[in-house]
Amino acid sequence: MIGVDVASISKGYGSLRVLDQVSTSFKAGQFTSLLGPSGSGKTTLLRIIGGFVSPDDGKIRFGGEDVTDVPLWQRKVGMVFQSYALFPHMNVHDNVIFGLNRQGIRGEAARKEVARVLEMVHLTGFEQRKPKQLSGGQQQRVALARAIVTKPKVLLLDEPLSALDRRLRQDMQIELRRIQRESGLTTIFVTHDQEEALTLSDTVAILDGGRIIQEGEPLDIYERPRNRFAASFLGDANFFKGKATTEGVELAGALLRTADRLPPPGTQVTLAVRPEKMRLVEEGKPADGENLYTVTIREIIYAGAVSTFLAQGADGTEIKILSQNREVRQLAAGQTVTLAWSPANTIVLAD
């Protein structure tokens, strides 16, 4: 297993700056997701790591070795594309063995490796089928098998689950994580799906405008986003703007306390609170030690196990609350309710 280091990588196309001095490290054997909106630079960074695209500036190192100028075919990377890119005229066996044959590995040695990876991806018995005879999930697993059979140093995945329906995508997330753990490959995965990044990753790097905004373990990034973009892109968040005081943040009709460090009194502050951290309480009912905030319900969206309440504060602040349906609530649009949540879940943002 080797790690991948990205040092001050920049890339532009004409006047468009796609990547701007990006530096990060992908730890050996870990699964890292590059998460961001369209145009954030995540796919370009992946393709530069793989050798499909050359950077304008910066260095790429595999296990400390500079591979910036090493051609694609000499980098020993496995790549799975969004379209899978299987050879339609070849059966599963021939698709998977193709890379081994290109490396000069043939005969019984190659057949054993194909059998090994097909067992890993649960496709033993499918060797003679053509891609058109397979489901989307099976095609995705063939593409994975073809990528890992050559024992690459790094596995690169460019939104390989995006073409699958929701249920199959969730099943394949579990399979993909299992395969990555069994293979032990350093894996870099591009996605714009927040849930996918949280489910699969050891580490998540959020990109915006060609820069990494925040990176770390999924739990840390979700619970402690640094800025408004990170808070809103990885999950939902409610935002409050007010002035710092010695006791908390003062806004229209409320004083919100936080466990985070506040700037000097009088400074403008933006706070974030995740919708599921809030709870509905009876209006005026004390909640010991919690923040209290009064809102008017505008809409209730029932979704079985969970209901979403869209509400508005006295100053017009838009609020979303997620509430598990443990009991039937007799609430309606236009009703005034009080929200309560812990100061520990009130995050002070950098912007």
Q: What is the pLDDT of residues 306-333, one digit of tens each?
A: 889 999 998 889 999 998 876 656 788 8
pLDDT at 285 over 80: no
- Give the CATH number for residue 194: 3.40.50.300
Regarding whether 267 and 173 lie in a shared domain, the answer is no
Regarding whether 130 and 219 lie in a shared domain, the answer is yes
pLDDT at 282 over 80: no
Overall size of the chain counted in residues: 351
Domain boundary among 230, 264, 279: 230
Regarding whether 270 and 198 lie in a shared domain, the answer is no
Query: How many structural domains comprise the chain?
Result: 2
Indicate the average pLDDT of the chain.
91
Over residues 228-238, the pLDDT tens digits come to: 999 999 889 99
Regarding whether 97 and 121 lie in a shared domain, the answer is yes
Rounded Cα distance between 231 and 120, Å, is 37
Rounded Cα distance between 49 and 75, Å, is 9
Regarding whether 264 and 217 lie in a shared domain, the answer is no
pTM given for the model: 0.88
Regarding whether 287 and 163 lie in a shared domain, the answer is no
Regarding whether 265 and 198 lie in a shared domain, the answer is no
Hey, what's the torsion of the CAs at 101, 103, 106, 109, to 10 degrees? -120
Q: Which helix (H) or strand (E) holds 190?
A: strand 186-191
Domain boundary among 179, 212, 230: 230
Q: Which domain holds residue 52?
A: 4-230
Share of the chain above pLDDT 70, in %: 97
User: Is residue 284 very low, low, confident or very high in pLDDT (cuts 50, 70, 90)?
Assistant: low
* Three-state SS at 108: helix
Regarding whether 193 and 240 lie in a shared domain, the answer is no
Domain boundary among 179, 202, 230: 230
Regarding whether 327 and 223 lie in a shared domain, the answer is no
Closest CA to 2 of 26, 24, 32: 26
Regarding whether 245 and 316 lie in a shared domain, the answer is yes
Q: Which helix (H) or strand (E) holds 303?
A: strand 291-303
Regarding whether 256 and 241 lie in a shared domain, the answer is yes
- Give the CATH number for residue 286: 2.40.50.100
Regarding whether 319 and 205 lie in a shared domain, the answer is no
